Structure 1
């Protein structure tokens, strides 16, 4: 079993477009008195696709406009926009089961907009919403035209075969802003759980769950275990049949799902990248596998003129081969591919010239000319790919030169393996140093987090002074320093006395309660990840922790992680035992944001000799650009000041 999420999700979307009843999905059209199986003729007819903002992002990396047309979709529309009546065309809805969407669909029923309605929901539709739809359909006189209502369990965005997110952009803020209402945090936990449940259903796997204790990760782990346990007890078990049967989802050994809070390692969200895929994401702000590049701008970042838009996926051979390569290697490969293309063009021109000059052998001339013509489409595609990556690499190079990203990367790498020095940091933080104000703040935070022995007060003051002189907002740095200070205080307070005495100390309890509300329950792990780097090779902390958890052995490295098994008897203690077999397939999910640096670090585990990893899927609430995450920290710092 190798975990691969995106092909399964794409297959499910294609079935949805073809009006195919997947036996893995819960079909409840019988509630309307309609036949749940679509007629073959209707499946082949032209149809409309109705999406909301979230499901539009779900399908964007999976299917192209051409794919939609090939499957009969002539027009795709947004559910919440004003739409005209098209009475002779069936409509396929793929939306989230929110009250607002249910109300909008009920309005479509009332206006009798379409000939038939195929309702597909990204996650499970609540019973109350189903009743509302049924009532609206009867009231609008369209109950006989509602062909199906299905829970598709596709509530996540697949960007690679082994990469997904939930498009929850404000997850970190919701978990750490003291002004956020408790109901909003509970809604976030429920949404994350729903997305993870959908991913597990698509994979057809019931994972063993490990999570950090005491924070959002453990809350999600417990809710997810409960939801999976309830699903396994249902008659229509979504983990059986359908995609599971088609893709061979059943396996003797189950995967391991590891849940982390974002504070487990903040440096990964802020450090500068030097490999191709993370650089494109962070510098050119790639989203949904698409990037916009202004070839005329010195840094490639769009400036208002219409940019060139490129899709970056594994169907692109250059991207597939070089996504994990460091930027200088990418630049060399672009030059090498361009040289190969020019050489191929020379050969085609030579063949054409030989064909023109070979007047005595008409057959031989025709064959040579045919060979030259047949090679042209392939050469044109190669030229298109080369031009794409030439423009992208040129844009990256402009930002690297202008901002000194190579210097930031080198200094941060040294810091994170314990070899950095203060003078080199200060040389960039000064107003005369290269880089944007945000680059300087990111470096300052990485320096602060990597200083495991702490920073002298006068040094900290000098850093802040240099940032202010550069015009930088220091609120994000202040927030991180406040977290670290509180972390140190809590450690000192818990250093003496027994647990009972500590629990009875009401003063300390109030501080702990305030700390949990203000900074999140995972503050005690904020610098733990950095220490993992100091004695070994450069592997990101989340990959180190995941590798240890995959070994499935008891020990101090994994003792702080909760262990939950939805298939275990309820209430029975579970956990790894000495001699248990290692896991070989795993899912890593970060609550509060993730990025391509962590994704690449986890993927590289598969090539390490000592690792137990055969396949790994990485997911997060959102794939966040570093400057966006820095802005979130700054807003939290301003709110706490």
Structure 2
């Protein structure tokens, strides 16, 4: 750190750097500010795979059918494969990690068709008597493209296997129904009570973890009365008893009910559709268009996925702070500016020099601080850190927001621990035990 600060001091002495440099903002938030986003059933590729299959150290384990049949197909046996999901080496994943799950499937099928067409073209150029007529130049060019084409096909096949495994979990657990219901709750839209009760009481629709997540989001977002929550809780308990797990997630639920402070604003903000994708009509047509390939028999189950991203709480706070919007969530945040507090860098030492020129600190919900002069120009460089369990859902939501800005913002997202929704649910249970 000392060496970095020393190098920074020399860099800042360059007047050209000072003209181009923009101070970033560091936003530190507490998980207690928005628990619902950690429980929500996501619909983007990376977040959904993490929810269904669990991503650990950028790796996911998938059960696939073992190849080796006499006709070149599979022999019916199952085997476990481990795949790397790395945006630095996987172009498809880099592009579509934050895409809606059906859109990612659609893109995979389209790219696979393109690869197949190119393979056929190469075979046509290199096979038969026509190859000699075309000359060696075309032949060499075609052969040179073959390794990259084979590698791309392998990568696409990896994602096809992941899609198969994730899709099986999605349909088995009725994830679209939960996703739709939870999005309505978080969005503040009208929710049919009977539909919620059906999901909570049905032994065939979702796991107990899915039901508890829905129950918690309803409690956090709806402002329901005690009698109404008791009815929903009873429906869940009956389902848990039928599954012979009457105490499943009881400690997590008890912990959440005990702390009424968690029942705070949980509604989402404006749509990210203009920033990150198609609008509602375009999204619906995408879902209907999935009636091709291996999704043909179950494409209709995706119709309930909401075809637009909404700004989550962390994204709304980030937007309000970066744009200096008045009367928004950032009003109650503690605002710290080391440059104002320390004054001249030479009086603060080298480490404070580093803070003075690089970091604004906004700390969540401690105390309103209106006495510190604030920067007037919008922030373009943003670091968001979540104290508590972070998740891919928030990460992708922030990236979609950043890409939609003009000019695009640079946003880094960090957390004390990256958890999928079920792991976060278990963590709540451990705290409440």
Q: TM-score, normalised by structure 2?
A: 0.73
Cα displacement (A) at 1:582: 2.1
User: Conserved in 1, the CA contact under 8 Å of 2:383 and 2:412?
Assistant: yes
- CA separation of 1:368/1:546 partners in 2, compared to 1, >3 Å: closer, same or farther? closer
Distance in 1 (alpha carbons) for counterparts of 2:13 and 2:206 = 50
Match of 1:590 in 2: 386
Asked if residue 408 in structure 1 is aligned to residue 182 in structure 2, the reply is no
Q: Say which of 376, 383, 399 aligns to 2:169.
A: 399
Q: Say which of 422, 438, 442 aligns to 2:213.
A: 442
Distance in 2 (alpha carbons) for counterparts of 1:386 and 1:337 = 8
1:378 aligned counterpart, secondary structure: helix
Asked if residue 474 in structure 1 is aligned to residue 269 in structure 2, the reply is no
Distance in 1 (alpha carbons) for counterparts of 2:18 and 2:226 = 51
Distance in 2 (alpha carbons) for counterparts of 1:350 and 1:375 = 14
**RMSD, aligned α-carbons:** 3.3
Distance in 2 (alpha carbons) for counterparts of 1:442 and 1:553 = 33
- CA separation of 1:311/1:460 partners in 2, compared to 1, >3 Å: closer, same or farther? closer
Cα displacement (A) at 1:612: 8.6
List aligned pairs for 1:201-212, cutoff 5 A.
none
Q: Say which of 106, 120, 126 aligns to 1:346.
A: 120
Q: Say which of 423, 430, 433 aligns to 2:194.
A: 423
Match of 1:65 in 2: none
List aligned pairs for 1:408-557, cutoff 5 A.
408-419=178-189, 420-456=191-227, 458-469=230-241, 470=243, 471=245, 472-484=248-260, 487=261, 526-531=262-267, 533=269, 538-552=310-324, 555=327, 557=329
Distance in 1 (alpha carbons) for counterparts of 2:36 and 2:397 = 14
List aligned pairs for 1:12-411, cutoff 5 A.
26=3, 237=6, 239-240=8-9, 252-296=21-65, 306-354=80-128, 356-357=129-130, 361=133, 364-411=134-181
Distance in 2 (alpha carbons) for counterparts of 1:613 and 1:263 = 29
Cα displacement (A) at 1:315: 3.0
- Structure whose CA Rg is larger: 1
Deviation by residue 1:215-261 (Cα, 9 ceiling, x = unmatched): xxxxxxxxxxxxxxxxxxxxx6474358999xx79954311111111
User: Conserved in 1, the CA contact under 8 Å of 2:340 and 2:372?
Assistant: no
Deviation by residue 1:132-162 (Cα, 9 ceiling, x = unmatched): xxxxxxxxxxxxxxxxxxxxxxxxxxxxxxx
Runs of 4+ with >6 A deviation: 242-245, 534-537, 571-574
User: Conserved in 1, the CA contact under 8 Å of 2:65 and 2:79?
Assistant: no
Cα displacement (A) at 1:387: 1.0
Once the two structures are overlaid, the 10-residue window that deviates more, 459-468 or 411-420, is 459-468
Q: TM-score, normalised by structure 1?
A: 0.50
- CA separation of 1:535/1:284 partners in 2, compared to 1, >3 Å: closer, same or farther? closer
Cα displacement (A) at 1:263: 0.6
Distance in 1 (alpha carbons) for counterparts of 2:13 and 2:391 = 29
Match of 1:602 in 2: 398
Cα displacement (A) at 1:541: 0.8
Structure 2 gaps of 5+ residues are: 67-76, 273-308, 345-368
Distance in 2 (alpha carbons) for counterparts of 1:417 and 1:468 = 28
